[in-house]
């Protein structure tokens, strides 16, 4: 399997690779330890050492080794490559590489390629006011934060979709390989079209240990490991060893072979058309953890063990023997041969670098905003549905949206910069119209009964929310656009990925050199109120709560109540940059309230009084009924209907919220209303019955500073549910029309003696409902057939 090798590299090639690698390793160790004397031009003294040593050595020399070799092939083959590394705690490696390539100094001029710059380079690492210890937005050439593990491969695939000339070597640590998201992302190769997408070269890096334990994939026999990888559809080449020179030849030969195979696959599929799913090459690289670092410290083995994971020699500042050992380790790279007197890398190293955009640290794909082109969007108003009278007609919001997205797909077909993602729910979420414009991406076997599968499809469906999210992030971070539709409850599966993406956006937004990218757009549908059929496990509206903990400048949450507002909101989201937009909307037939122009006005304001549903014509309401979300809005209106039939002179004001962040104060969120605006909607002293899509506490959390907060009574999901009818879901959680009407009666004292009677009648309705559904198995006709009567 492994190609025969003896002297694959020419002597000067070997020299270049080895020198570059030594320099990168030297600078990496220097970053972990030093705050002065970076080139060891004087003997190492305690005051050169940082007081706190924070960093990860173990994975770094392997990452540098691969980088050095990639630089060779980039130059020789003139390749466009971007480097994605899973073991991102190997941050010092990638910073060293970017500095050696000159990119670092171009972006951060005070970290120049000279002696001063070098001092700054080593000092700033893991230092207050400096740079993080992991690969991060600050790291040139990166799209992949090196904190939480699991997403390297899906990010890499996301980056190469529709980038036919890009190759992404993706390093997967043997620790990361144990995570679920990574384990399933191997199958991304069934979704890659060799003709129109680029290539990922996975490099599984077995260095044997995690923080403390051995890694599973490093401790199974080679036949199991290679069999597994072949089962995933790859052709794995094993490169193992610890002697630098033979390893250089072996790795270079393997890399050349892999790149030859990739080139052949691409040539074949682009000239002759794709016949069958190719077997893409990959590399298994087995090297010692902490390679080239100290073998033993205090009599204990370090290199090749878990002890090399972070800082291999502790406390050189306080322990003279450790200081001496550190100095000999650093000097073993012979820095005098690596740097000129100015501090710049020697010519041989500089010549080993690719040039310009070919440097991986300068890959334009890794600063995707540079490449971003705005989507061509059709006029969303053209997709609106007729609403002659508010609430009188019915529509399926996501089905309407599907037609709009279909034409977004068509308009950008030539640009090839828009994809939609979903865990096998595109049609279940009623976005099926998109399939008229494109197919589902599929490169595995097809059978006659299949529906809309094609290699160049742009609807990406795999039953892994993690993979969908990872692909989409990779696609966005490299300057394209996307849309993720998901069952609301299962968006929690990617909670932690959303965290990391939000953190990335926050930090990237503070870096002038990082250009804005397209927003990450979620449509949460099949939501809590219409999971009456799948039951309790599918009922959870908490993703919103999770998202609003992130920085206000990054997060937007929209709850359009009907189809036209959904169109307006999604159009806005597709135009926006650098946000995480969460849109919650149902897929079931529901009342439609706003004609298109009203919808645009309402969405632009984000919140507003619905005059046509209100009865406080004098502007002095007895009660304010707030609502956010399609089902809660419908129940609020039905409650208004019930109340006004009984109490025609009751002055109700209906306030609908589309943009949830309008509820927060203007100092807390850029979309927040001023207190005066808030009071003008919700009054300063009237009872407010707020019917909310999600957990009720979220509304309190957003409004606790408002003057009328004391009178705010919120209904929402309180974790009650099962398989039942849609209306019964509302009743179980008391967001239904009957309970809301009771809430109003209880809070408007002036209703007088009629109130008790009306209250009793509503209670009776609830009992009737319970009896009816448990006998008939569906909701009462008066519920199913209700529509807003107009006023």
For a copy of itself, the closer CB: 21 or 471:
471
Q: Kindly state the smallest distance separating residue 277's Cβ from a copy of itself, in Å.
A: 8
Question: CA torsion sign, 82 to 87 to 91 to 93?
Answer: negative
- For tokens 């077997």, the residue is 279
Dihedral angle, C-alpha 326, 327, 330, 333, nearest 10 °? -140
For a copy of itself, the closer CB: 750 or 784:
784
For a copy of itself, the closer CB: 233 or 343:
233
Q: Kindly state the smallest distance separating residue 657's Cβ from a copy of itself, in Å.
A: 18
Q: Kindly state the smallest distance separating residue 387's Cβ from a copy of itself, in Å.
A: 28
What CA–CA distance (Å, rounded) separates 691 from 291? 60
What letter would DSSP give residue 142?
-
For a copy of itself, the closer CB: 341 or 446:
446
Q: Kindly state the smallest distance separating residue 428's Cβ from a copy of itself, in Å.
A: 5
Strand order from edge to edge, sheet including 555-558? 453-454, 440-441, 459-461, 418-422, 481-487, 520-525, 580-584, 555-558
For a copy of itself, the closer CB: 257 or 309:
309
What b/e sequence results for 593-629 when a residue is b if at least 16 CB atoms lie within 10 Å of its CB, and e otherwise? bbbbebbbebbeebbbbbeebbbbeeeebbbbbbbbb
What letter would DSSP give residue 50?
-
For a copy of itself, the closer CB: 536 or 612:
536
Q: Kindly state the smallest distance separating residue 544's Cβ from a copy of itself, in Å.
A: 10
Q: Kindly state the smallest distance separating residue 198's Cβ from a copy of itself, in Å.
A: 21
Q: Kindly state the smallest distance separating residue 141's Cβ from a copy of itself, in Å.
A: 18
For a copy of itself, the closer CB: 440 or 765:
440
For a copy of itself, the closer CB: 449 or 752:
449
Q: Record the tokens describing residue 159, joined without a space.
A: 């980056």
- For tokens 């070919």, the residue is 358
No. of H helices and E strands in the chain?
A: 24, 23
Q: Kindly state the smallest distance separating residue 303's Cβ from a copy of itself, in Å.
A: 10
Question: Smallest Cα–Cα separation from 629: which of 728, 711, 695, 576?
Answer: 695
Count of Cβ atoms closer than 10 Å to residue 271 Cβ:
8
**Are 250 and 241 within 8 A, CB to CB?**
yes
Q: Kindly state the smallest distance separating residue 466's Cβ from a copy of itself, in Å.
A: 4
What letter would DSSP give residue 518?
B
3-state class (DSSP) for residue 712? strand
Question: Who contacts 490 (Cβ-Cβ below 8 Å, separation ≥6)?
Answer: 423, 465, 538
Cα maximum dimension of the chain? 100
Q: Kindly state the smallest distance separating residue 178's Cβ from a copy of itself, in Å.
A: 4
What CA–CA distance (Å, rounded) separates 330 from 325? 9
239 to each of 76, 242, 246, how far by Cα in Å?
21, 10, 10
**Are 144 and 84 within 8 A, CB to CB?**
yes
For a copy of itself, the closer CB: 442 or 579:
442
For a copy of itself, the closer CB: 185 or 568:
185
Helices (H), 332-450: 347-352, 397-411
What CA–CA distance (Å, rounded) separates 645 from 638? 11
What CA–CA distance (Å, rounded) separates 204 from 181? 15
Q: Kindly state the smallest distance separating residue 462's Cβ from a copy of itself, in Å.
A: 6
What pairs with residue 282 in β-bridges? 236
For a copy of itself, the closer CB: 54 or 264:
54
3-state class (DSSP) for residue 165? coil
Q: Kindly state the smallest distance separating residue 37's Cβ from a copy of itself, in Å.
A: 15
For a copy of itself, the closer CB: 453 or 596:
453
Q: Kindly state the smallest distance separating residue 15's Cβ from a copy of itself, in Å.
A: 33
For a copy of itself, the closer CB: 462 or 638:
462
Measured in Å, how far apart are the chain's first and last C-alpha atoms?
79
H/E run at residue 173: strand 166-173
What CA–CA distance (Å, rounded) separates 87 from 563? 44
Q: Kindly state the smallest distance separating residue 284's Cβ from a copy of itself, in Å.
A: 12
Count of Cβ atoms closer than 10 Å to residue 420 Cβ:
27
For a copy of itself, the closer CB: 214 or 246:
214
Strand spans (E) along 610-710: 623-628, 652-657, 688-692
Compute CA 221 distance to the chain's CA centroid, rounded to the nearest angstrom. 35
For a copy of itself, the closer CB: 513 or 704:
704
Q: Kindly state the smallest distance separating residue 625's Cβ from a copy of itself, in Å.
A: 20
């Amino acid at each position: 399997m492994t190609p025969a090798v003896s002297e694959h590299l020419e002597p000067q090639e070997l020299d270049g690779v080895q020198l570059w690698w030594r320099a990168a390793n030297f600078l990496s160790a220097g970053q972990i330890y030093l705050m002065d004397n970076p080139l060891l031009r004087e003997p190492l003294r305690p005051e050169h050492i940082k007081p706190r040593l924070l960093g990860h050595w173990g994975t770094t020399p392997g990452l540098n080794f691969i980088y050095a070799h990639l630089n060779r092939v980039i130059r020789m083959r003139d390749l466009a490559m971007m480097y994605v590394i899973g073991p991102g705690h190997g941050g010092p490696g990638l910073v060293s590489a970017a500095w050696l390539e000159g990119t670092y100094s171009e972006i951060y001029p005070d970290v120049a390629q000279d002696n001063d710059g070098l001092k700054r380079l080593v000092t700033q690492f893991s230092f207050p006011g400096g740079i993080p210890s992991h690969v991060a937005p600050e790291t040139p050439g990166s799209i992949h934060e090196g904190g939480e593990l699991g997403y390297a491969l899906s990010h890499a695939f996301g980056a190469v979709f529709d980038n036919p000339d890009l190759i992404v070597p993706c390093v997967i640590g043997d620790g990361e390989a144990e995570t679920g998201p990574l384990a399933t992302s191997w199958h991304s190769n069934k979704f890659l079209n060799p003709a129109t997408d680029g290539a990922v070269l996975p490099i599984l890096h077995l260095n044997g240990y995690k923080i403390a334990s051995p890694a599973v994939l490093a401790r199974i026999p080679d036949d199991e490991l290679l069999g597994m990888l072949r089962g995933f559809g790859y052709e794995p080449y094993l490169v193992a060893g610890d002697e630098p020179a033979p390893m250089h030849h072996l790795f270079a030969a393997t890399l050349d072979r892999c790149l030859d195979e990739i080139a052949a696959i691409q040539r074949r599929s682009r000239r002759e058309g794709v016949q069958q799913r190719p077997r893409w090459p990959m590399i298994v690289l087995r090297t010692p953890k902490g390679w080239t670092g100290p073998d033993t410290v205090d009599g204990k083995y370090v290199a090749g063990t878990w002890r090399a994971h972070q800082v291999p020699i502790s406390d050189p500042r306080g322990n003279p023997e450790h200081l001496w050992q550190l100095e000999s380790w650093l000097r073993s790279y012979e820095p005098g041969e690596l740097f000129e007197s100015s501090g710049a890398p020697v010519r041989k190293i500089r010549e080993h670098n690719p040039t310009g955009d070919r440097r991986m640290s300068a890959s334009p794909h890794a600063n995707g905003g540079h490449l971003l082109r705005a989507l061509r969007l059709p006029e969303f108003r053209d997709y609106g549905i007729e609403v002659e009278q508010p609430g009188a007609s019915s529509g399926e919001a996501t089905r309407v949206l599907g037609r709009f997205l279909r034409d977004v797909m068509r308009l950008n077909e030539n640009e090839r910069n828009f994809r939609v993602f979903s865990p096998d729910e595109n049609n279940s979420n009623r976005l099926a119209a998109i399939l008229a414009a494109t197919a589902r991406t599929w490169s595995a076997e097809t059978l006659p009964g299949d529906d809309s599968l094609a290699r160049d499809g742009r609807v990406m469906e795999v039953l892994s929310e993690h993979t969908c999210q990872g692909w989409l992030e990779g696609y966005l971070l490299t300057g394209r656009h996307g849309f993720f539709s998901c069952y609301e409850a299962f968006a929690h599966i990617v909670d932690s990925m959303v965290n990391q993406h939000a953190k990335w956006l926050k930090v990237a937004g503070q870096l002038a050199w990082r250009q804005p990218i397209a927003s990450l757009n979620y449509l949460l549908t099949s939501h809590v109120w219409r999971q009456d059929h799948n039951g309790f496990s599918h009922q959870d509206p908490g993703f919103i709560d999770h998202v609003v903990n992130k920085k206000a400048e990054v997060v937007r949450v929209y709850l359009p109540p009907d189809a036209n507002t959904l169109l307006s909101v999604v159009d806005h989201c597709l135009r926006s940059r650098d946000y995480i937009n969460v849109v919650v909307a149902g897929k079931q037939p529901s009342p439609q309230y706003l004609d298109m122009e009203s919808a645009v006005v309402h969405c632009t304001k984000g919140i507003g009084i619905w005059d046509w549903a209100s009865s406080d014509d004098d502007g002095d309401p007895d009660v304010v009924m707030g609502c956010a979300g399609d089902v809660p809005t419908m129940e609020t209106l039905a409650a208004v209907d019930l109340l006004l039939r009984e109490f025609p002179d009751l002055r109700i004001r209906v306030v609908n919220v589309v943009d949830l962040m309008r509820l927060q104060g203007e100092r807390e969120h850029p979309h927040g209303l001023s207190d005066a605006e808030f009071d003008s909607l919700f009054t300063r002293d009237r009872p407010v019955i707020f019917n909310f899509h999600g957990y009720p506490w979220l509304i309190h959390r957003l409004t606790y500073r408002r003057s009328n907060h004391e009178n705010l009574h919120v209904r929402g999901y309180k974790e009650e549910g099962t398989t039942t009818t849609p209306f019964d879901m509302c009743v179980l959680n008391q967001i239904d029309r009957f309970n809301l009407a009771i809430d109003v009666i209880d809070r408007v004292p002036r209703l007088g003696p009629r109130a008790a009677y009306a209250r009793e009648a509503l209670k009776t309705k609830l009992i009737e409902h319970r009896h009816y559904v448990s006998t008939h198995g569906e909701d009462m006709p008066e519920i199913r057939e209700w529509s807003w009567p107009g006023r």
